[in-house]
A and B are shown apart, each in its own frame.
Chain A
Amino acid sequence: MDREDIHRALRRMAHEIIERNEGRLSEVVVIGLQTGGAPMAEALVAALEEIDESAAPIDRGTIDVALYRDDIGLRPVMPEEVTAIPVDLTERIVVLVDDVLFTGRTIRAALDALTDFGRPRSVQLAVIVDRGHRELPIRPDYVGKNLPTRRDEVVDVSIDGVELGEMVK
């Protein structure tokens, strides 16, 4: 996927979000997972506000889920950014945004983290790339692209595109 592909995918996902949450766009809060999901969430919010100007401004935030991860103690884990969720999430529709969906463990941690900010009416998941290899029962609501990969491959997603690489042993 190149830059154009990413842009097209984001717009398509924005349309899907609007369609699915018809009439309730004002209840939507878009939250990007640090650090890969944050720029994606920004781009998604920009797309949403462009398509439906009446819904702007859309509430948004970022969340660093390091402290909720299940591999604390197994490997070095450090928060990289300070979480910023400026609204009470109670009864809101949270759209979680991440760049890559892989085992699902990060999203599980994010769901745990979100409950400390209120009780959302629902949580929907938007990812730019679903690379497979789920280890938990987590599924995305909005996907930019399905990209089957080997376990040992590395997937790097940014606004400029998607790159596949080999894991450095």
Chain B
Amino acid sequence: MADHDLVIVGGTVVDANGSRRADVGITDGVITAVGEGLTGGRTLEADGCVVGPGLVDLHAHLREPGQEEAETVETGARAAARGGFTAVVAMPNTTPAIDSAGIVREVQALGRDALCAVHPAAALTVGRKGEQLTPMAELAELGVRLFTDDGNGVQDDGLMRRAMEYATGLPQDVVLAQHCEVEDLMAGGHMHEGAWSSRLGIPGIPAAAEEVMVARDLALARLTGARVHFQHMSTAGSVELIRQAKAAGARATAEVAPHHLTLTDAEVGSFDPVFKVNPPLREQSDVDAVRAGLRDGTLDAVGTDHAPHTQEDKEKPFDSAPPGMLGLEYALAIVLTEVGLSIEQALAVLSWQPAAIARLSDEHGGPITEGRPANLCVIDPTVEWTVDPADTASRSRNNPYAGRPLTGRVRHTVYRGEPVVIDTEAQR
């Protein structure tokens, strides 16, 4: 029996086909064996752990080019790897926006040596201004599969329809992702419009600002046949709209962020801008609804919406501070601890389902079998740990989970056969 470069021993392999006790052997970036008693040049201990396909994040802000004080592709990918991700879709609201071939290539180049795969998404409109479509065919040629103006939703209904129609004509199977927020309804709001915004005297963003755009895009997707993905769903109304649309056969998919699965608008009572995010933290009934939506399959994936910001930015007055919070290193633990998903369900929404949405299933999220690329994570499902904001690979510290006790954590991450994270430590 040939020796493998790397063996993962003692764990339980879990993928979309089920779970079994097995070691995994890896050579030259590829899984070369799945079985008992494997040996190899290097060993990763996985006793009591689950060995699953690497996680895939549909939604991370890596801030490069242009906002490197908060994060770079390198540091963001490192944080992703620590969180068990072997692939990350990088959001295009950089400076300049990822709306042209040059910037796409730049981000792809930055990602080449990163600790996980970095797949830039491209903006739907030039400069994310919502006026003119980006050259979607050219960008899809370069490998872009997800288009979004994330940070903002596309406000012009006519333009959104055209974008969907055009996308259906591309040879590549691309997905249009939407940050659903109707700006006219946001009315200068900075938190969820509810009992807390009334009490705190902070202008509120009604749930309707999200739901109106969800309804619009569902109708336009029906009209055009386009594949639409809804980003960071946060309200009970949005979940219900998607549930009904799917029941009627819609091709839509949807994601939810870890913070919307855990935190409510009550957190804003501290006036700490770490808790400011778009869409905002909602009320408990919304948190309950998105959890139920994740459990029953209405929501297909957890996307971190990892949004790093400098300390200075997050110390501004609440209404001036930029929205967003960290998430890459906590998503899996949040899903296991707070939502109570089983490890199989957690891997489904963090690994193979998002991989499918991003059209990355060839490389990521796939079954752990011989011949597949070795993109894996090893999870200790029972370890108890407390979130320490200083223990992060991110350049930023806007962490809403500081001090939170969690159960379950990624122990090792293997990317293209290389163990990039061992015992929660990034290896380079």
Physical contact A–B (CB less than 8 Å) = no
B residues with CB within 8 A of A: none
